[in-house]
Amino acid sequence: MIYDSIIVGAGPAGMSAGVQLSRAGLKVLLIEKNEAGGLLRNANCVENYLGFHSPCGAEMVMEFQKQLEDFSVPLVRGEVLEIQKGRTFSVRTKKKNYFARTVLLATGTEADLLEVSGEKKLAGKKVFYELADLLKNFNKGKILVVGGGDVGFDYALNLSGRGFRSILITRGEGAALPVLKSRAGKSGIPVYENVCVKKIGLGEKGLLVDCTQRQFKVDAVLVAVGRHVQMPKIGMQKRIKGLYFAGDVKHFAIRQSQIAAGEGLMAAMQIIHQLSNANRSRNRK
């Protein structure tokens, strides 16, 4: 089976593209290594997506999923490891090879590590990089959020709203939006500035996080110290006809869900034009 388009990554960019490609009657497949919704699943309160009145990210994702279902967009679980170009594109996952006339990479970003002693051993158990993963393991407790950007403050507010005790540390003075900082202040979230994590280890009654000048005893750590683009191996030039990019993976410096969804839609429209032009010239011959 050769798909008209394979979309790698079911975040806002990939989901938006999937809906449009399916509306256009194309054979499309979405491949997602984790859960549909991407990074947006972690957002506390999305206030800048027109048409939605400050829902949490998970609620928005449920609405996106309904739209995928309305247009019967098939979604399979799997991590795409490599993309190659022969007569068609081949998209390799661990279990299977898929083939398509076009590929859209909407793979977003991945969290940066703290790179401190003890971190790797505790990752996924006591140290987390996405709120959604922490919530699968904890439903109460004291959480140290590391990172003073928008994501760090969003996580701290989200946790506090769920009844956790959140503490936020930032190595500088915190670069988050003033509105998020002010809400953290009003929610009574302790914020420690100019603090760096040095080491994480297990103590008798929980996690010990050694930082510059102080030590924190907490139940878990949620890291939000930056992100980097993630992509499968691409065995060809990236600027090749039929290979498209959308969302955070494309515009790393302006990572917002509405931009990602808009770019997904734009890529879908470009794919539709490419394929209909190709069909027209084939029919003329």
Ligand X SMILES: Cc1cc2nc3c(=O)[nH]c(=O)nc-3n(C[C@H](O)[C@H](O)[C@H](O)COP(=O)(O)OP(=O)(O)OC[C@H]3O[C@@H](n4cnc5c(N)ncnc54)[C@H](O)[C@@H]3O)c2cc1C
Query: Count residues contacting ligand X (CB under 6 A)?
Result: 37
256 binds ligand X (CB under 6 A): yes
260, 247 in Cβ contact below 8 A? yes
Rounded to the nearest whole angstrom, what is the least distance from the CB of residue 15 to ligand X in the complex? Answer: 7
Rounded to the nearest whole angstrom, what is the least distance from the CB of residue 193 to ligand X in the complex? Answer: 20
Q: Which of 159, 207, 257, 272 binds ligand X (CB under 6 A)?
A: 257
73 binds ligand X (CB under 6 A): no
Rounded to the nearest whole angstrom, what is the least distance from the CB of residue 282 to ligand X in the complex? Answer: 31
| Beta-ladder partners of 91 | 83, 98
Shorter beta-carbon distance to ligand X: residue 118 or 164: 164
Rounded to the nearest whole angstrom, what is the least distance from the CB of residue 92 to ligand X in the complex? Answer: 10
| Beta-ladder partners of 55 | none
> How many CB atoms within 10 Å of residue 54?
11
256 phi/psi in degrees, rounded to 5? -145, 145
Q: Which of 20, 107, 166, 170 binds ligand X (CB under 6 A)?
A: 107
Structure letter (DSSP) for residue 130: S
Rounded to the nearest whole angstrom, what is the least distance from the CB of residue 179 to ligand X in the complex? Answer: 11
42 binds ligand X (CB under 6 A): yes
SS3 235: coil
10 phi/psi in degrees, rounded to 5? -110, 50
Rounded to the nearest whole angstrom, what is the least distance from the CB of residue 46 to ligand X in the complex? Answer: 4
Site string for ligand X, 162-201 (x = CB under 6 A): ----------------------------------------
Residues 6+ apart with CB under 8 A from 24: 268, 272
Stretch that binds ligand X, among 18-26, 102-110, 173-181, 208-216 (CB under 6 A): 102-110
Helices (H), strands (E): how many in the chain? Answer: 7, 18
Q: Which of 20, 22, 102, 109 binds ligand X (CB under 6 A)?
A: 109
148 binds ligand X (CB under 6 A): no
Question: Tokens at residue 37, please?
Answer: 């919704």
Site string for ligand X, 1-40 (x = CB under 6 A): -------xxxxxxx----------------xxxx---xxx
| Beta-ladder partners of 6 | 29, 103
Spell out the long-range contacts of 238-242 with Cβ–Cβ below 8 A and sequence spacing 24 or more: 240/85, 241/274, 242/85, 242/89, 242/101, 242/102, 242/103, 242/274
Strand order in the sheet with 206-211: 197-203, 206-211, 214-218
Rounded to the nearest whole angstrom, what is the least distance from the CB of residue 174 to ligand X in the complex? Answer: 15
Shorter beta-carbon distance to ligand X: residue 119 or 248: 248
Residue ranges in contact with ligand X by CB under 6 A: 8-14, 31-34, 38-40, 42-43, 46, 48-49, 79-80, 106-109, 151, 154-155, 230, 232, 247-248, 255-258, 260
